[in-house]
Structure 1
Amino acid sequence: MNLVHDLHNLMGGFGVALSPMNFLYCLIGASLGTMVGVLPGLGPVTTIAMLLPLTFKMPAVSSFIMLSGIYYGAHHAGSTTAIMLNMPGEPTSVVVCFDGHPMARQGRAGAALSIAALGSFFAGCVAVIVIALFSPLLAQVALDFRAPEYTSMVILALLAAAVLTEGSLINSIAMVTFGLLLGTVGTDVNSGRERFTFGLSNIASGIDFVAIAVGLFAIAEIVSRLRHAARKQSASADGAHHAAPKFRSLFPTRRDFAMSWKPILRGTALGSAFGILPGTGPLVSSFASYSLERQIAKDPSRFGKGAIEGVAGPESANNSAALTHFIPMLTLGIPAGAAMALMLGALTIQGISPGPMVMTEHPDLFWGVVASMLIGNVMLLVLNLPMIGVWIKLLTIPYRFLYPCILVFCCIGVYSISNSPADVVMTAAFGVFGYVMLELGCRPAPLILGFILGPILEANLRTALVVSRGNPMIFVQSPISLGFLLVAAALLVAYATSGLRRREPRVANSMEHDPYSNAKDLS
């Protein structure tokens, strides 16, 4: 009965997604996502942060459909330049370089691009089905959550993000803590007193999410990448010898299909499972899929030399994980990564509180977005293969022209929200802070997660302690709350005893700073 009900809702979602306006925004999102996925330095997080000010005056459903299209479109398209130029447009596509580019050098770029596109399409469709089937179940369970359960769940999410994010654990926990502190700035709802405002009226109602998001993810990333712009010429020169394949050469052989369909299935399953957990998104899923395929292969020595399984599995895991990130964000209000934190902020800008009630209070939003993902996957399949030459041509745009336009666009967008120059100054300040943190090896993702989840943690912690009259044992009396805390403790023990972080994500982290470095050397 529930399945029939979900299918009925999904059909209603197609009615929302296929309306002329929403269909246009889906096309815009998929096209922009494809473009930023191809261009190194313009990932989905940076682009979503740039466009957040524009969504303030857009319809909620249309804006979220567009931002979602940018997000999964970038993950879908990042493999194009990874295969053709050995230069991943999106950091999570770095794994595809290992075998995709050797295939291109062997004259088999068409097969690699086709398998990557088909694997992405299949994984995306399966992930959407997983969202449609499991989100209502998870939301139904979440309706039984009370303040103690939400408090423990937020603690688990923050700790998992700190433990599983690339880089030092101490740095990640410090960034989470600083994000929690930033979330407390403003007027206390209970007492009505201002906290940490230092007499500044502009932040009496709290720090503007758009200012901190644009500063940390757009301006800081752009300034950081300017340090590596000189390497672009050598990378472009290396890729200039690789012409875009003709459409007729894009069809893989039967042997390619026979060797790819199982890795696609395994990668899709891995990505769908990993994507739900904070910090274990597309990057970790891609490396896990690559490691799995290499371990079970009859001849592991083929990997790194053009094994098509090394393209099919990781690319499928990448895209399925990217989409299943939506499940905890929409049903629990818990973002599973930096991009989902920005999407959560986009919803709060529209006055919508993500959580278990979003499917009942805003069914047009939830099911419209889910349906638009299936439509967007078809659009991406059409966009990526025939237009490979066009996307690679975009790599010739001089960065000295691209970056100033982006910075001006960011400033105009931030200013347009409340017509306040102070917001632009605050954005610039967070940009400087974010750049310094990047140079020190601190990633902004844990900070933004702490900033988003801080008010939720504070509100539920206070409520739980009021109900229990200050007795902290309330957090271990509930089986669900106790379970979350035990999982959080297990993460810390696993990190301390076995070095939970792998070497590959750290390498990918350096790749994120320098997208022009030779990805082949990382294998």
Structure 2
Amino acid sequence: MIQSLEYFLSGLGVALEPTNLLFCFFGVLCGTLIGVLPGIGPVATIAMLLPVTFYLTPVAALIMLAGIYYGSQYGGSTTSILMRVPGESASVVTCLDGYEMARRGRAGSALAIAALGSFFAGIVGTMLNVLFGPEFARIALSFGSAEYFGLMVLGLSVSIVMSHGSMIGALGMVCLGLLLGSVGRDINTGFPRLTFDLPELSDGIGFVPLAVGLFGIAEVMRNLDAGEAFTGMVQKIGRLWPSREEGRRATPAVLRGTLLGTLLGILPGGGSILASFTSYGLEKRLSRRPQEFGNGAVEGLAGPESANNAAAQASFIPLLTLGIPPNAVLALLVGGMMIHGITPGPTVMTEQPALFWGLIASMLIGNIMLVIINLPLVGIWVQFLKIPYRFMFPAIFLFCCIGVYGVNSSSFEVLLAVGFGLLGFLLSKLGLEAAPLVLGFVLGPLIEDHLRRALTLSDGDPTVFATRPVAAVLLLLAVLAPCLVLLPQFGRRRREIFQEEA
């Protein structure tokens, strides 16, 4: 533990370098802005900014992308509280009691509770990365190909269970992602797969056009289709500090939300959305005043806001130590690492300690920046809400196309991104989520690689996955995870969460 703290201090030196500090500030500022603006979201923003990372150092690029992710958790609470419009999906629960507090003249208190609770949860999540990240990495270093195969299959299985809507649809999206990930020449035989004799596909489908299309361009289409009518905005902010009674009620909720969010953030497919809804349900059950929930309960705001930020920070643990992205946003970060030739997993900590510890240390700095950005500048963020979307979408679409073209100077990839944009829009119309597709696309080549390697080392004996205890347990859990939905209580709670979010 002492050694981890020493490494963390060295990481602070990396994070405090002027360039890295600048991109940390840009990341959290951009994250706050896209969290405030409804209809954009961190996934679309990171997808659009991926091409920019080609021109940055790996440390600066990942610090910026990570800042966008956890910064959006902060910014999303502003529109939820003032307008009852969630800036991003994890802030849906904040609408329930945050907006009611604002309507009763306590908007300032609500914003302060959300920001301070998020700050505490973010700091705790960062320190857990410091303390437990190396332990996860040591365990992961003992894994062989069979164990990694089981772990990645488990990640996909849990993501199917935790995805929105139909599990059959989520399974289909994972399979489609695996299929798209197999396009290109076989790395062992050089035989072309699913290229349709197009030379542009011989190296496979690029991650940037897929991500920008599915999330950036598709998001523009969805917003134009949905319209842009935002009404009911609270005009008066009031005093930006909670009363003593509000602080007394918020404190235990923040602590519970932080603990719950940390545990759920580590799970693949869990993340901020599940953490915020679960925290709200827990606070309502524990409260002596359950009738206040939905009418301005402080606990109903403090708990979920802390939970979604703790989950955002904790989700970096499996990403950095095991190479498993728990959600779609961090799958994009895996893409960003691969762009720079970095293989995500436990070797990152040993082979590139400056990147590993610099990224973790930047989260501490970023959380401090976010408190400064969110509370004093809330009036400025409110002004951004008045920008009509018809002025924003042409710039977003143009930026998407320029970014994709700039990667390989390929007009084919621009057309590919537009095609994936149409696919993403169609999937949303069918009620299907694109996140499992991205996870399948990112993990597919890794799963294939570890499967082949495990079979090669065992001379083609498939029982290697049963005779190695850890691999067998992981694969058994992967099979059992979808069976949880058959349990009445779990299945009912899963439906309630996604119905409330909708």
Structure 1 length as normaliser, TM-score?
0.94
The CA deviation at 1:509 is 5.0
The CA deviation at 1:503 is 2.8
SS of residue in 2 equivalent to 1:223: helix
Q: Is the 8 A contact 1:91 1:508 kept in 2?
A: no
Q: Is the 8 A contact 1:166 1:505 kept in 2?
A: no
d(CA) in 1 for partners of 2:321 and 2:186?
A: 27
d(CA) in 2 for partners of 1:485 and 1:413?
A: 39
SS of residue in 2 equivalent to 1:56: helix
SS of residue in 2 equivalent to 1:472: coil
Give the letter for the 2:427 counterpart.
M
Question: Alpha-carbon deviations, 1:349-384, whole Å to 9, x = none?
Answer: 001111001011111111111111011101100111
Which position in structure 2 is the counterpart of 1:115? 113
Which position in structure 1 is the counterpart of 2:498? 506
Query: Is the counterpart of residue 54 in structure 1 residue 44 in structure 2?
Result: no
Give the letter for the 1:275 counterpart.
G
CA gap 1:469/1:337 in 2 versus in 1, 3 angstroms = same
The CA deviation at 1:315 is 0.2
Q: Is the 8 A contact 1:244 1:388 kept in 2?
A: no
d(CA) in 1 for partners of 2:392 and 2:91?
A: 22
Give the letter for the 1:448 counterpart.
V
Which position in structure 2 is the counterpart of 1:286? 276
d(CA) in 2 for partners of 1:418 and 1:244?
A: 49
Runs of 4 or more consecutive aligned structure 1 residues displaced over 4 Å after TM superposition: none
Match of 1:243 among 224, 235, 239: 235
Match of 1:456 among 446, 449, 467: 446
d(CA) in 2 for partners of 1:390 and 1:163?
A: 40
The CA deviation at 1:470 is 2.6
SS of residue in 2 equivalent to 1:443: coil
d(CA) in 2 for partners of 1:169 and 1:488?
A: 14
Written as runs of structure 1 = structure 2, the 5 A alignment for 1:20-31 is: 20-31=18-29
d(CA) in 1 for partners of 2:351 and 2:500?
A: 40
Query: Is the counterpart of residue 201 in structure 1 residue 199 in structure 2?
Result: yes
Q: Which runs of 5+ in 2 are unaligned?
A: none
The CA deviation at 1:490 is 2.3
The CA deviation at 1:508 is 5.2
d(CA) in 2 for partners of 1:220 and 1:505?
A: 24
Which position in structure 2 is the counterpart of 1:517? none
Question: Alpha-carbon deviations, 1:285-310, whole Å to 9, x = none?
Answer: 00110100100111211111111000
Which position in structure 1 is the counterpart of 2:30? 32
In angstroms, what is the RMSD of aligned CA positions?
1.1
d(CA) in 2 for partners of 1:270 and 1:178?
A: 32
Give the letter for the 2:299 counterpart.
E
d(CA) in 2 for partners of 1:13 and 1:118?
A: 25
Question: Alpha-carbon deviations, 1:485-523, whole Å to 9, x = none?
Answer: 22222212211233535234323553xxxxxxxxxxxxx
CA gap 1:15/1:185 in 2 versus in 1, 3 angstroms = same
Q: Is the 8 A contact 1:176 1:447 kept in 2?
A: yes
d(CA) in 1 for partners of 2:482 and 2:102?
A: 42
| Percent of aligned positions that are identical | 49
Match of 1:43 among 41, 44, 61: 41
Which position in structure 2 is the counterpart of 1:321? 311
The CA deviation at 1:476 is 1.5
Written as runs of structure 1 = structure 2, the 5 A alignment for 1:112-261 is: 112-229=110-227, 232-233=228-229, 235-236=230-231, 238-239=232-233, 242-246=234-238, 249-261=239-251
The CA deviation at 1:112 is 1.0
SS of residue in 2 equivalent to 1:396: coil
Which position in structure 2 is the counterpart of 1:346? 336
SS of residue in 2 equivalent to 1:351: coil
Q: Is the 8 A contact 1:46 1:214 kept in 2?
A: yes
The CA deviation at 1:221 is 1.7
Give the letter for the 2:203 counterpart.
S
Give the letter for the 1:63 counterpart.
A
Question: Alpha-carbon deviations, 1:171-221, whole Å to 9, x = none?
Answer: 000000010011111111111111111111111011000000000011112
Give the letter for the 1:117 counterpart.
A
Query: Is the counterpart of residue 434 in structure 1 residue 424 in structure 2?
Result: yes
Which position in structure 2 is the counterpart of 1:425? 415
The CA deviation at 1:387 is 1.0
Query: Is the counterpart of residue 301 in structure 1 residue 291 in structure 2?
Result: yes
d(CA) in 1 for partners of 2:444 and 2:422?
A: 23
The CA deviation at 1:418 is 0.9
Q: Which runs of 5+ in 1 are unaligned?
A: 511-523
The CA deviation at 1:337 is 0.3
d(CA) in 2 for partners of 1:45 and 1:148?
A: 31
Aligned residues: 500
Match of 1:333 among 323, 343, 355: 323
Query: Is the counterpart of residue 390 in structure 1 residue 393 in structure 2?
Result: no
Which position in structure 2 is the counterpart of 1:470? 460
The CA deviation at 1:94 is 0.8
SS of residue in 2 equivalent to 1:392: helix
Q: Is the 8 A contact 1:36 1:44 kept in 2?
A: yes
Which position in structure 2 is the counterpart of 1:75? 73
SS of residue in 1 equivalent to 2:142: coil
CA gap 1:273/1:7 in 2 versus in 1, 3 angstroms = same
Which position in structure 2 is the counterpart of 1:486? 476
Match of 2:82 among 81, 84, 91: 84
The CA deviation at 1:37 is 0.3
Give the letter for the 1:89 counterpart.
G
SS of residue in 1 equivalent to 2:66: helix
d(CA) in 2 for partners of 1:125 and 1:90?
A: 21
When structure 1 is superposed on structure 2, of 93-102 and 479-488 the one drifting more is: 479-488
Q: Is the 8 A contact 1:29 1:69 kept in 2?
A: yes
The CA deviation at 1:57 is 1.7
Q: Is the 8 A contact 2:92 2:501 kept in 1?
A: no
Q: Is the 8 A contact 1:61 1:368 kept in 2?
A: yes
d(CA) in 1 for partners of 2:212 and 2:236?
A: 34
SS of residue in 1 equivalent to 2:72: helix
Give the letter for the 1:506 counterpart.
F
SS of residue in 1 equivalent to 2:92: helix
The CA deviation at 1:259 is 0.6
Question: Alpha-carbon deviations, 1:407-432, whole Å to 9, x = none?
Answer: 00000010011111111011111111
SS of residue in 2 equivalent to 1:275: helix
Give the letter for the 1:49 counterpart.
A
d(CA) in 1 for partners of 2:393 and 2:53?
A: 22
Q: Is the 8 A contact 1:179 1:451 kept in 2?
A: yes
d(CA) in 1 for partners of 2:393 and 2:373?
A: 25
Q: Is the 8 A contact 1:244 1:389 kept in 2?
A: no
The CA deviation at 1:56 is 1.2
